[in-house]
Structures are given as structure tokens and as C-alpha cells.
A and B are shown apart, each in its own frame.
Chain A
């Protein structure tokens, strides 16, 4: 079988299961973040110095470990972008192989009227110079930094395009995430107000917070890049990595998060696309919402919830992704890992709507015992065949 045929077979396997039909076998999704860097015995700095290295590094696990698709394509956030604009938001860890995010909250509560009135002008002309030292100089110096960032991303986006092609041509491996749907409220949380700020705003300034989220709706849509009345293929998927929802109640989620986010999902649905949602943390109190989504439209990566309960409670409506505890892959014996993988497949696979994956994305060297991962993925690939 050619790599092109293998690629198409895997895409069909995934799309079939997302439609709650039984494919030939249970698809296996790999979720390799910066862990790939340690696996390839490289460093973040080495990739920064030689951008083409990212292709070799993020291809390396797929030479040795079976999967039917991978979650993302290379390193989404590098420390170099923050360095260029003079921000401390991302930095290389002491191990040299992971990138850490430091919460910076450059927006004050008193800034809400300006955010609401003109979000782009507030964010770029007023707020960003507070956190990005190299955007707070003379216009000529600021332009130099912006131009350097563009040059960096011209190279990096070219590399990521070649990595995508390398995975397809050499490994027959699809990347499941095509574009991102970034919720407006997570933007406020991640980049403007932070955990402490948004927690206070939810209680003390709910109307301003709501208006601020609403003000970012247009930018969220622009970033998603899906104009009205556009048609897209059902694969690859739009992706949302939820950050705030696990920390807020179902009532707050409904009042603050959904008014803008539901509109984004509606746009994706109407275009023929599908959404893969990283359900970070615990989501049991929001299962009613997951069950209210159109059937066969969404995939949910289960992180903190009990995967067996999730399958029973929302698995008829969305595709369940996950189930293999990262902690077990890291610390358990090979036999225990394989036994557990069998249990997950036996309970989650019947009827389709299930993709086998680890419960968390691998980031650091010690996150997983590779021998266990190889054994489990080989086992599931051979065992989880639909008759």
C-alpha cells in the first residue's frame, strides 16, 4: 500500500468513527507536544537555531510508534516569538526541551471601557506595549521588531507546511487539527486578565466582562478564518483547547462563554466542518451542553473525566477521544498498560464514536515510558478490529 493510500485509509477510519459508524478498526491518535524534542534528543534552542530541525524532531516518534493520526503539527508556541517582541510570556525551561508559559496580565480592570469601545486599538496600541518591551520604543524600533517577527514566522510557517507534508508522504499520517477556533472568553483569560483578574471580574464586573468578551467576537471569527457561506471538508477538524471552562460553573459557562463560542461552532457546522475539543480538566457539569451539540459534529478529548462515564453520558452524541491514563503509561508495567487498554477498547469502541489516545498530551521527557506506549499502540492496532 502506498503512503497516499495509507493516509486516505486513516482519514476514512477517523471520519467513519466520528459519524458513529464502525470503521475497520479503532483509530489511534498520538498527542506529542514538546515531548518529541526529548524523544529526538534535541533541544528547543537547537530548533530555534536551525528551524528545519523541527521537521526531523516531530517526525521522529512516528518512525517508531504506531498511530493513525497526530493531534498537532510541530511546536505551536516557541520562545523565540516572545523574545523578539521583548515579552516574558514564553521561555525555555531548565531542561532545554520544553517551553513554559508565564501568565502575564497586562490589562487592568479600569481598561474595560477601552477594550469594549475598540478592542484592536486597545490591545495593540495600548496594552501590548506594557508587556512587550520591544514594542514600546520609537516607531522605527518597534517596526524593526515586528519585521523580525514576520521573518521568523515566514520561515516557521514554511517549516510547518513541510512537516505536514513529510508526515503525509513519509508516514501516511494525517494531522487531525486543521485550524483553530479560539473562544473569545479564553482570549480574555489567557492574554488580557489572567486567572486572578477574570475570577474577580466574574463576580464584581460581570457586565463589563460580558461586553469585553463580546468585543473580541469579531477577532475570534477572523482568526478562525471561515467566512459565512464557505464550505469546508469534514477533515481535518477545527480545534479548541479549552482553558477557562473547567474553572467555572455550568451557569457561568452558559452566561459568559457560550454566547460567542456557540456562534463559532454554528459557523463551523453550517460550513460542513467538525470540531475537536480538548476538554481540559473536568467537564461532567457541562455534559448537557455537549449533548446539545449536533450529533456527530464534535470530538471531545477526555482529560480529567472518567472515560467510561463520559462514553455512557455523552458518547452517543460526540466522539470520545482518550482513555489511556498518561500516569499508567509512565509508571505501570507493560502488562498492566495493555490490560487497561483492552478494557478501554472493550467498553468505548462498540458502535464507533471512539478514538484511542492518552489522557494527556506528552510534554516532558519523563511523561511516558516509551516501551509501554509502543506496546499499547501496537496492541490496540491489532486487537481493536471491528468484525
Chain B
């Protein structure tokens, strides 16, 4: 099956699977994802 996952799909997967180093608070995790998105945009 063709893999059509976009960058946003992959960022969602990243947050779901790789953010255990952060507190479980969704606000904290969403905030860190916003920051990672900015690093990607600015780099």
C-alpha cells in the first residue's frame, strides 16, 4: 500500500510516540511541538 504520510502526519506520530521525556500534561507537549515546528520553519 502506498505510504502517503505528510510531514504533519509524521509530526503527529512524533508527539504520540516520542514525547515521554516530557510531563504528561497535554499543554506542555503541545507547546513543545509548536516549538519543534518553529525550529523546522526557521531552519
Residue of A nearest to B42 (CB): A191
Chain B, residue nearest A104 (CB): B43
Is A149 part of the contact surface with B, judged by Cβ < 8 Å?
A: yes
Q: 1/0 per position for B12-43, CB-CB distance to A under 8 A?
A: 01100010010000010011001111111111
Q: Which of A90, A129, A182, A227 contacts B43 (CB 8 A)?
A: A90
Looking at B3, B4, B7, B8, the one whose CB has the most chain A CB atoms below 10 A away is B7
Q: A71 CA to B19 CA in the complex, in Å? A: 30
CB within 8 Å for A143 and B41 given contacts A150-B18, A154-B21, A225-B34: no
What distance in Å separates the Cβ of B19 from its nearest Cβ neighbour in chain A? 9
- Bound together, the chains give a CA A225 to CA B36 distance in angstroms of 13
For B38, the chain A residues whose CB sits under 8 A away are: 182, 223
Is B14 a contact partner of A147 (Cβ separation < 8 A)?
yes
Binds B, one of A58-66, A117-125, A326-334, A351-359: A117-125
Select the stretch in A36-44, A133-141, A362-370, A379-387 that faces chain B.
Answer: A133-141
CB pair B43 A132 closer than 8 Å: yes
- Are A89 and B39 interface neighbours, CB within 8 A? no
Question: Known contacts A138-B3, A139-B5, A149-B36: does B10 contact A82 (CB below 8 Å)?
Answer: no
Q: A120-B8, A124-B37 are in contact. Are A89 and B3 (CB under 8 A)?
A: no
How far apart are B26's CB and chain A's nearest CB, in angstroms?
12
Cα–Cα distance between A82 and B34 once the two chains are bound (Å): 17
What is the distance, in angstroms, from B31's C-beta to the closest C-beta of chain A?
5
CB distance from B32 to the nearest CB of A (A): 8
Q: In the complex, what residues of A have CB within 8 A of residue B42's CB? A: 77, 89, 190-191
Partner of A191, one of B6, B21, B35, B41: B41
Query: A87 with B6: in contact, given A143-B14, A225-B34 (CB under 8 Å)?
Result: no
Q: List the A side residues contacting B4 at CB < 8 Å.
A: 139
Instruction: Say how far B37's CB is from chain A's closest CB, in angstroms.
Output: 7
Main secondary structure of the interface of B (DSSP, over half): helix
A146 interfacial contact with B, CB 8 Å: yes
| Chain A interface mostly | helix
Out of A123, A139, A225, A227, which one reaches B10, CB within 8 Å?
Answer: A139
Inside 8 A of B35's CB, which chain A residues have their CB? 153, 223
Q: Once the chains bind, are A146 and B37 in contact (CB under 8 Å)?
A: no
Report the contact-size class of chain A (Cβ under 8 Å from the partner): 35 or more
CB-defined interface of A43-86 with B at 8 Å, one 1/0 digit per residue? 00000000000000000000000000000000001000110110
Q: Tell me, in angstroms, the Cα distance from A84 to B11 when the chains sit together.
A: 15
Determine whether the beta carbon of A142 is less than 8 Å from that of B43: no
A154 CA to B20 CA in the complex, in Å? 11
Q: Are A149 and B40 in contact (CB under 8 A)?
A: yes
B14: which A residues are within 8 A, CB to CB? 143, 146-147, 150
Cβ distance B35 to chain A, nearest Cβ, rounded Å: 7
In the bound complex, residues from chain A placing their C-beta under 8 Å from that of B11 are 124, 146
A124 with B6, Cβ < 8 A, contacts A81-B39, A149-B39 known:
yes
Known: A143-B14, A147-B14. A153 touches B7 (CB 8 A): no
A81 to B8 Cα, complex, angstroms? 18
Nearest opposing residue in chain B for A77, CB measure: B42
A-B contact pairs, 8 of them (CB 8 A): A84-B43, A87-B43, A120-B8, A124-B7, A125-B6, A142-B7, A150-B36, A153-B35
